[in-house]
Structure 1
Amino acid sequence: MTMRSVLAGLALAAFSSAVAIAGNAGYPLTIENCGRTLTFEKPPQKVVSLGQAMHEIVYALDLGQRLTGTAVWLGPVREEHAEANATVPRLADESPSFESVVASGPSLVLSEFEWHVGPDGVVGTRDQFAELGIQTYIAPMDCTGKDNASGGNGRRVQPFTMEQVYRAISDLSQIFDVRDRGNALIATLKEREARAVASVARASDVPVLVWFTSPQMKGDASVAGSNGAPAYIISKLTARNAIASDDEWPWASWETIAKSNPAVIVLAAMDRRFNPGDDPQAKMAFLRTDPVASQMPSVQAGRYFVMRAEAMNPSMRTIDGIELLASKMREFGLAE
């Protein structure tokens, strides 16, 4: 063996070592997540995502190729992610079985809600997944300032802010070693919010009603109260919630709603049909024909519109909600 070949071999070995070190930069990585410490030796290669807010963060970070399955959907994925999503198996529209998640072979499961993966998770508990060597990451939006021990979807006890979404984006960008993508995504969302807020800077004290659903169209309505994503949207635009309630989604009669005299009514749209009031067309028909609702000035003036329910869940789409409400406030002459 010549000296040249020896030196070439040493150079190649040094280069390979440098690449290996660079590829593992920042690992092992430790993340604190909803009361648990997660440690990653390398970026996960196979991931299952439960909850549309989480799917869309993964796609926005250009990590769709890591997904081996999704579940828990409110509606269609954003158009710019449709091509990537088309190649990912959908395990279920709602809650998948524990077995179907495990069968897809993930090393990491992302969950938007502790209701799906948590102490009493309907899909599975974090310990059940851990016993199989599968890590679980819960969206900070669902465990920050929220009491999930109360059952169901829990109760938000502190106001939601977009910082919780930015924490999720930052965490995932670190876990998958795409920090630059995460920083760029957060910067874009902040810029969009700032522009929307500035566009209605002269609006003030506009009462806004957000109607999510109704089990019976002539019964009480599930509307936005305090602390949730709709309350954040409304507050950022210097408007106010028409229904004053400490609950995130209180029930209100139409007599109570009429007395609150909302200037704008926002109607949630979703693809699911658990309740008659899930259908935005049914909501609009009710507003136009109900003896009480139809007499509200906002209804008679046509100051109501449809917003996707995804924007009403704490997520990147909450920025969509701010932009849409700002636009409608200008259109309705309630802001300059």
Structure 2
Amino acid sequence: MSMKRPAATALAATLCLLTAACGSSPVDKAGDETTEAAASKAGYPVTLDNCGQKQTFDKAPSRVVVMNGASVAEVSTLLALGLQDKIVANQQGYGMSEVPGRAAAIKKLPTGDVKLNEAYDIPREAMLGLRPDLVLSVTRYGFDQKNGFATREQLKQVGAGSYISPQGCDDDPSKMTVADSYRLLRDMGKIFNVGDRAEKLIAASEKNIAAVSEKVKGEKKPKVMVLFSNMSMGGNDFSSVVSRGIINDILARAGGSNAFEDAAKTTFADLSKEKVAATDVDALVVIAYNDPNPAAYAKKLLKEFPQWPAAKNNTYVTLSDSMYLGPSNDLAVEKVAKMLHPDAL
């Protein structure tokens, strides 16, 4: 999830490369051939074209750093693929999840004991000190030198790969769909040579979503307001209202539509109270981001706007990580569909 971030301190020094970080032990020619044969047998090398850069992996990464980026998609994807033991530092977390045990599993992951910068993420020197062999970032922002982060080139020079999640190349998630969640799964499956696991997760998700979509096919599509609980991201009263992106794809598959899809061309709309009051809202989806009681916020909104059909029918649902990029979009589709079309499901 892309949100406004405070400015980070500019880089204070150039990168100092350590020979020990880049070097390798000498081996004889026979050893080289044996290693190459083993890598080939295991499915390596693997090369991905990621945001215009070729990233090649000769083996599965074992020291992965997951940057914050106000997301949970990347760490959840690694957990879904059973790769938690590869993570040496994780800065992501929603505080809750639709997947039983996921929030607790994320909380248990190592953080690398890193002092974060003003953008609540890992600065360059700390990143290099973690000795990663793969760094995951939600967008290009996480590799931006002017914000104090290690660049992709600097990471490459110390033997670390880098990966920017789908639709993060231009830091514009407004075009994101459920297919991007599958792409993230597939890419991680390729990098870690667990493509079979990724395909099983994708197939199960596609099957679940197709079953729900078939049941609500032909039903009237209620207008849904989606926003983050108790979160301010702009100057108006309602600045965390979702306008575009993967959430619209989820709503459509669940038999609904976004009441504020035309309110902005970006992912989020910054709306006045008057604009919100003048819009018919048939149902409410409140997304919790580290909010322990999103239901209280939903009820507050329904009370504040009694003219909404959603308020008259008490139609709302609270969700968290399944509503955004990640491996669990099918859970969001199902829960939203049950709210909108209880008789169909």
Q: Normalization by structure 2: what TM-score?
A: 0.76
For the Cα contact (< 8 Å) 2:165–2:184, is it kept in 1?
A: yes
For 1:84 and 1:305, the matched residues in 2 are separated by 24
Q: Of 274, 277, 282, which aligns to 1:263? A: 282
| Structure 1 pair 97–217 and aligned structure 2 pair: CA distance change class (3 A) | closer
Q: Structure 1 residue 104: deviation in Å?
A: 2.6
User: Given the alignment of the two structures, is residue 88 of structure 1 paired with residue 109 of structure 2, yes or no?
Assistant: yes
Q: Normalization by structure 1: what TM-score?
A: 0.78
Report the counterpart of residue 212 of structure 1 in structure 2.
228
For the Cα contact (< 8 Å) 1:46–1:66, is it kept in 2?
A: yes
Q: Structure 1 residue 225: deviation in Å?
A: 1.0
- The total of aligned residue pairs comes to 300
User: Given the alignment of the two structures, is residue 137 of structure 1 paired with residue 160 of structure 2, yes or no?
Assistant: no
For 1:237 and 1:288, the matched residues in 2 are separated by 22
Q: Of 13, 34, 40, which aligns to 1:24? A: 40
Relative contact order (alpha carbons < 8 A, sep ≥ 6): 1 or 2 greater?
2
Q: Of 291, 300, 304, which aligns to 2:316? A: 304
For 2:312 and 2:247, the matched residues in 1 are separated by 24
Q: Structure 1 residue 320: deviation in Å?
A: 2.1
Report the counterpart of residue 200 of structure 2 in structure 1.
184
For 2:46 and 2:64, the matched residues in 1 are separated by 17
For the Cα contact (< 8 Å) 1:270–1:279, is it kept in 2?
A: no
Question: What aligned pairs does 1:95-244 form with structure 2 within 5 A after superposition?
Answer: 95-118=121-144, 120=146, 123-143=149-169, 147-148=170-171, 155-156=172-173, 159-213=175-229, 214-215=231-232, 219-226=237-244, 228-243=245-260, 244=262
User: Given the alignment of the two structures, is residue 54 of structure 1 paired with residue 65 of structure 2, yes or no?
Assistant: no
**CA deviation vs aligned residue, 1:247-281 (integer Å, no higher than 9, x gap):** 21111223322332111011111216xxxxx9625
For the Cα contact (< 8 Å) 2:282–2:308, is it kept in 1?
A: no
For 1:82 and 1:280, the matched residues in 2 are separated by 16
**CA deviation vs aligned residue, 1:169-226 (integer Å, no higher than 9, x gap):** 1121111112211221211121121122123223223111112254399923421212
User: Given the alignment of the two structures, is residue 318 of structure 1 paired with residue 329 of structure 2, yes or no?
Assistant: yes
User: Given the alignment of the two structures, is residue 295 of structure 1 paired with residue 307 of structure 2, yes or no?
Assistant: yes
For 2:148 and 2:288, the matched residues in 1 are separated by 25
Name which one, 1 or 2, has greater alpha-carbon Rg: 1
Q: Percent identity?
A: 25
For the Cα contact (< 8 Å) 1:222–1:251, is it kept in 2?
A: yes
For 2:334 and 2:80, the matched residues in 1 are separated by 19
For 1:121 and 1:82, the matched residues in 2 are separated by 29
User: Given the alignment of the two structures, is residue 67 of structure 1 paired with residue 79 of structure 2, yes or no?
Assistant: no
Moved more, 259-268 or 76-85: 76-85
For the Cα contact (< 8 Å) 1:266–1:305, is it kept in 2?
A: yes
| Superposed CA RMSD | 3.0
Report the counterpart of residue 280 of structure 1 in structure 2.
294
For the Cα contact (< 8 Å) 2:235–2:270, is it kept in 1?
A: no
User: Given the alignment of the two structures, is residue 79 of structure 1 paired with residue 90 of structure 2, yes or no?
Assistant: no
Aligned AA (2:58) = E
For 1:96 and 1:305, the matched residues in 2 are separated by 34
Q: Structure 1 residue 48: deviation in Å?
A: 1.2
For the Cα contact (< 8 Å) 1:207–1:242, is it kept in 2?
A: yes
Helix, strand or coil for the counterpart of 1:235?
Answer: helix
Aligned AA (1:205) = K
| Structure 1 pair 218–286 and aligned structure 2 pair: CA distance change class (3 A) | farther
| Structure 1 pair 79–122 and aligned structure 2 pair: CA distance change class (3 A) | farther
| Structure 1 pair 294–217 and aligned structure 2 pair: CA distance change class (3 A) | farther
Query: Where do 5+ consecutive residues of structure 1 fail to align?
Result: 1-16, 149-154, 273-277
**CA deviation vs aligned residue, 1:106-157 (integer Å, no higher than 9, x gap):** 11111223222346555432223223222111112423xxx33xxxxxx345
Q: Of 267, 282, 307, which aligns to 1:248? A: 267
For 1:220 and 1:81, the matched residues in 2 are separated by 29
